[in-house]
Structure 1
């Protein structure tokens, strides 16, 4: 089994997949605090990516950060924001996690709405 990092984004204000949300995957150097951009992508019509963000030999032990450009996505879909009557203050949503097993599947979903967001380790 080869390890990988994947994601899925749902806009729970509309009950639909968050198609076209831009995101980045960064690797963090714990000693220096520096970040290195590994991948940029945008979700497809199903709110998923067409390929893993990272997989196989590229998987390394350490700390990673997924950064979702939720502010741009939700401002594009102004109907959802207006319908909720809530100002979306979360422009970028960073989710930092540790890879402890390079053979494991790290699925990091995001549930987003104008009033907040949630995540969990998926399967």
Structure 2
């Protein structure tokens, strides 16, 4: 009977930890993939801005990791508000480090948050002379 209790307690604690982690999940993530190589793009500087009173105000910034991701771009401990946001991918710096020409020094992606409780994921498919983006999950 003690073993069953231990297993049940361990399962309950694990489920509680997963539920807490999901509740605390950052509402915004980004991912950059290189269309030429088909690989994630590490080292891309990214800023997050929110529009307020007709002006853009920086909320956060980060750099993509080895998997081309920033899994938590929204400021930690703050609830996302409905409104207009802009993510700026600093792609020119990336291509300059590689010694490769590119056409877009920065790629601004504007989007509207109308359901702040949802998770927003913004992937960027990147090449030196073009890009594509969409709302991911």
User: Which TM bucket (shorter chain)?
Assistant: 0.7 to 0.9
| Backbone CA RMSD of aligned residues | 1.7
State the shift of 1:10 in Å.
0.7
TM-score by length of 1: 0.84
**Equivalent-residue separation in structure 1 for 2:116 and 2:77 (angstroms):** 8
What runs of 5+ residues in structure 2 fail to find an aligned partner?
A: 1-22
State the shift of 1:58 in Å.
2.5
More helix per residue = 2
1:11 is matched with which residue: 31, 34, 38?
34
TM-score by length of 2: 0.76
What runs of 5+ residues in structure 1 fail to find an aligned partner?
A: 82-86
State the shift of 1:3 in Å.
6.5
Please tell me whether residue 108 in structure 1 is matched to residue 129 in structure 2. Answer: no
8 A Cα contact 2:45 2:89, kept in partner: yes
Please tell me whether residue 73 in structure 1 is matched to residue 104 in structure 2. Answer: no
* Aligned-partner SS, 1:89: coil
**Equivalent-residue separation in structure 1 for 2:67 and 2:54 (angstroms):** 34
> Aligned pairs, how many?
113
**Equivalent-residue separation in structure 2 for 1:92 and 1:19 (angstroms):** 16
**Equivalent-residue separation in structure 2 for 1:3 and 1:44 (angstroms):** 16
Give the ranges of 4+ consecutive aligned residues of structure 1 lying more than 2 Å apart after TM superposition: 55-58
Over 3 Å counting, the alpha-carbon distance change for 1:74 and 1:5 in structure 2 is same
Greater relative CO (CA pairs within 8 A, separation 6+) = 1
1:62 is matched with which residue: 83, 98, 119?
83
Please tell me whether residue 38 in structure 1 is matched to residue 67 in structure 2. Answer: no
Q: State the match for 2:9 in structure 1.
A: none
